[in-house]
Structure 1
């Protein structure tokens, strides 16, 4: 009896969803396949008007980019702004641009495309740059306070103490200190075993959010985070507050009302920036159990990465006659060139 030929079943193909497709980027080791991509869950998933919120954030990002770029341009163009204080301020604006540009465009792209995956390398890059800039800003703001202290408490020696070489050393110290500290935390955070699904409850790769999906005991590392927070946040903040006590005592001893008002205006702008930068950082990294409160952390990070970089140039421009005069000159030159 002849053998009846059989027809092999043709396997069907189902198109995977974007999140499933993202998890198919793998690292093969022998017969094992391990996913390496992460999924960013975004912020406030239960919020009804999330599209409007993202659109507003994009508009704020454009305003932030424009404001900080304009401030850097003014400081670079006009010679009367070629002072150590404004030179350090231009670096602070550059750090703000780096921070927001490493987070907001990726967040908006993921939201509007519906593709919420982020590769292992991109996640590590976001952690590294966000931590580098955040730590560098804390160091730079502390050094800017030293600049104000010398200018007000020892004005005769200010040109000898604070010069271009010292400013370059301050900037190098800020960037190098931030980069080295961030490199260590980035390496430690990403070397832990991550639980599946690899879903990060945040709108970008952030250390505390990634630690929430780690499958190991991280109590020892959490202690290292607390120690770093003390060195990066509490110690600089205590130095800043101590310096301002001496600054205000020196201001009270001034005989000239104009000099007193000018010193207070400059110091108040710097104190506003101190509050904007150190406030969210203290709430995120110095609060007990901060890794377990993702919604509050997301709100604080939205403030720190969206609003703070926008308010920084406003604090130094709207209340500063020198910057306003430079802006008027630039606008007059633009109108005359037309």
Structure 2
């Protein structure tokens, strides 16, 4: 049995399938909060099938990782959301580059030739020992550009809206952001309207973070590192926090940036808006410190877009210390939830 799972409404999915010649009656699951292990398990229960009899076909690293979480083999297709290189990081069973090859791989699964293989990665990361999960976090000074106000119907804070535009930009390629002038378009009154360019928001925040650091008179040499999102960086088209950190430190005396990510989300973390907790063990079990030799710095600035409770910043600070980094610790954010 073939089923389609999408974030889109069911009626929209059916219309798209019909447009491409698919017969009616194919099971469709819409508004599925895809991709996540929880939504995938729900789909399997509703479809009445078991993981052992399921093959996931997806075009994103998120699809692959969601299937890994419940032991489902994945065939990834390289002509969709993520590049082949990004898909390889998520470790699907196979990656195919041509649509014509998909039917052959489905038949191979039905014949038992494709089975689940656990992830071998991530390697080369230091994880915080469980014995340190409940130990006090090192001192971290919060530096905020401004407050962040959650969206309320009828109320719109312009600065908070630009932070959301920055967050949205990770769904676009770096070339489209920097070179092609991609915009945060939106639907209004029956029309698609052109929004703010992602590049202008990146440039604005680069300047604001530089000013924030200058105002706080950080003494000595400062390393700027990017905080991770809820998924590994290869799940997004662009690692925006890393791109911002690079631009903040570029050509700045006493500011430094390392192109290799120092802190990564090595395992997916359930996003807070989907019901996941910002607290507890999940921060520690999903973060990793890259095993690389680093110079000594007087300050380490953890750069993030939004903070609410500060739990992620504290978890990163604890991991940074465990990884051997010294110096004063700062959490610099574009917005602190008001």
- TM bucket by the smaller chain? under 0.3
TM-score, normalising length: structure 1: 0.25
Greater helix fraction, Structure 1 or Structure 2: 1
